[in-house]
Amino acid sequence: MDNKFLKIRNDFPILNQKVNNEPLVYLDNAATSQKPQAVLDEMVRYYQNDNANTHRSVHTLGERATEEYEAARGKVQKFINAKESREVIFTKGTTDSLNLVAATYGEENVSAGDEIVVSYMEHHSNLIPWQQLALRKHATLKYIELTADGQLDMADAEQKITVKTKIVAIAHASNVLGVTNDIQKLAQMAHLHNAVIVADGAQAVPHQPVDVQNLDVDFYAFSGHKMLAPMGIGVLYGKSDLLKAMSPYQYGGEMIDFVEKYQSTWTDIPWKFEAGTQNVAGAIGLGKAIDYLTEIGMQNIAEYEKHLVEYALPKLLEIPGVTVYGPQNQINRNAVISFNLKNLHPHDLATALDMDGVAVRAGHHCAQPLMKYLNVVATARASFYIYNTVEDIDQLIYAIKDAKEFFKV
Ligand code: PMP
């Protein structure tokens, strides 16, 4: 399997460079992934040949642009197994998708005394929209606890999700703890009480097969830039009945049916939620990224990344002074490993690793309540993707040992 994945690396020109005189080892994929040449070429091709505004013009370029944009929607539909393509709304990214749900569905369905259930492992983008909605509505925000090894406590979830719950908003995969949550089970719990479930798929869709019908999620959000596509394009999946009943998020061009002097009516889903000129090249780039990932196979990707984690985790844990957050074995772990080195601030560690060509993230990872829960101010984080290799991990381990020596910790 390694061989096939080794070849993949050649498709990513950015990886072929030195940083601080060392070959670049890019391990910040949870923040954003790199883009294969095929995606870059596709976007240039679109701008060189077909660029026009969509859904507005009968001229040839306008029709081509519209056709390609809608074809990209169809690719997303197939990729996540949505029942209908109109259940796929293009957004700016996960943050935009989640804000859309909070501002429309949330605004219209949450009242004083209702409850919104999140977890301690949420990224701020799946937390603050709900926190602010709860404040506006005088609703209560409840947090599902984590188990000692950093997994979602499903027994606590069962306690927290009640008849008072209107929305359950949970990450499909954590950007810090390296765990994938049982969204299907959580959806059952939510639906038992007539609540909806919103899943944040930002760290799941790039790394594992996702089937929204099988998960039975009501809403599902993800970003293109973490899955080989450009920044500024993302997806909100929503069940069509829910989307149809929701008010628009933004008002303006192309989301209307009729506009009169004092009132207006809205066009059908998904366009009702796509006001104004859209990121057409981004959507087409996302479509190409989906082609690329599908060609490799999402199950193969999940297995390859598991193999990288299996290789990396024991090596990290062997280094004296290293603490890994989340489960200490690779079972149920995805390609994110957050860690700290005793007596060294993660920012200093990340800076030292960069000197050896290794790019990792250091900080609170947009998860401040989780940092508090873990009783740390910040962590370093190595996150892998399809173009990473065991040699990259060897270089990470070497660089950590190098930092230990340099800082004498
Ligand atoms: N949720 C999770 C779990 C994430 O990892 C991220 C990105 N760090 C987001 C949401 C937000 O994604 P974006 O910045 O692309 O909107």
- Cα gap 114→309, rounded to integer Å: 40
Distance 62 CA to ligand 1 centre (A): 32
Tell me, what's the pLDDT at 57?
Answer: 82
**pLDDT tier at 5, thresholds 50, 70, 90:** confident
Q: Which residues line ligand 1 (CB under 6 A)?
A: 30, 93-95, 123, 125-126, 171, 175, 200, 202-203, 223, 366
pTM over 0.95: yes
Is residue 43 a part of any domain in this protein? no
Is residue 38 a part of any domain in this protein? no
Q: Which of 154, 256, 275, 366 is catalytic?
A: 366
Residue 154 has pLDDT above 80, yes or no: yes
Is residue 41 a part of any domain in this protein? no
276 and 336 inside one domain: no
Query: Average pLDDT in the 258-277 region?
Result: 96
287 and 378 inside one domain: no
147 and 199 inside one domain: yes
CATH code assigned at 235: 3.40.640.10
**Element of type H or E holding 305:** helix 298-318
In tens, the pLDDT along 335-355 reads 999 999 999 999 999 999 999
Residues of the chain with pLDDT > 70, as a percent, come to 99
Query: Average pLDDT in the 263-285 region?
Result: 97
Question: What is the span of the domain harbouring residue 385?
Answer: 1-28+298-407
Residue 2 has pLDDT above 60, yes or no: no
In tens, the pLDDT along 254-265 reads 899 999 999 999
ipTM over 0.90: yes
Let me know if 366 is a catalytic residue.
yes
Which atom of ligand 1 is least distant from the CA of 31? 8
Opening angle at CA 401, ends 397 and 406, nearest 5: 145
Tell me, what's the pLDDT at 213?
Answer: 98
136 and 191 inside one domain: yes
HSE-CB for 205 with a 13 A CA cutoff = 32
Is residue 182 a part of any domain in this protein? yes
**pLDDT tier at 55, thresholds 50, 70, 90:** confident
Q: 248, 279, 295: which is the final residue of a domain?
A: 295
**pLDDT tier at 6, thresholds 50, 70, 90:** confident
35-72 burial, b at 16+ Cβ within 10 Å, e below that, comes to bbeebbebbeebeeebeebbbeeeeeebebbbebbeeb
Tell me, what's the pLDDT at 148?
Answer: 93
Distance 282 CA to ligand 1 centre (A): 17
7 and 126 inside one domain: no
316 and 380 inside one domain: yes
Mean pLDDT (the chain) is 96
Tell me, what's the pLDDT at 239?
Answer: 98
Residue 1 has pLDDT above 60, yes or no: no
Tell me, what's the pLDDT at 229?
Answer: 98
CATH code assigned at 322: 3.90.1150.10
In tens, the pLDDT along 352-390 reads 999 999 999 999 999 999 999 999 999 999 999 999 999
For residue 116, is it left (φ>0), alpha (ψ between -120 and 50) or beta? beta
Q: 295, 316, 350: which is the final residue of a domain?
A: 295
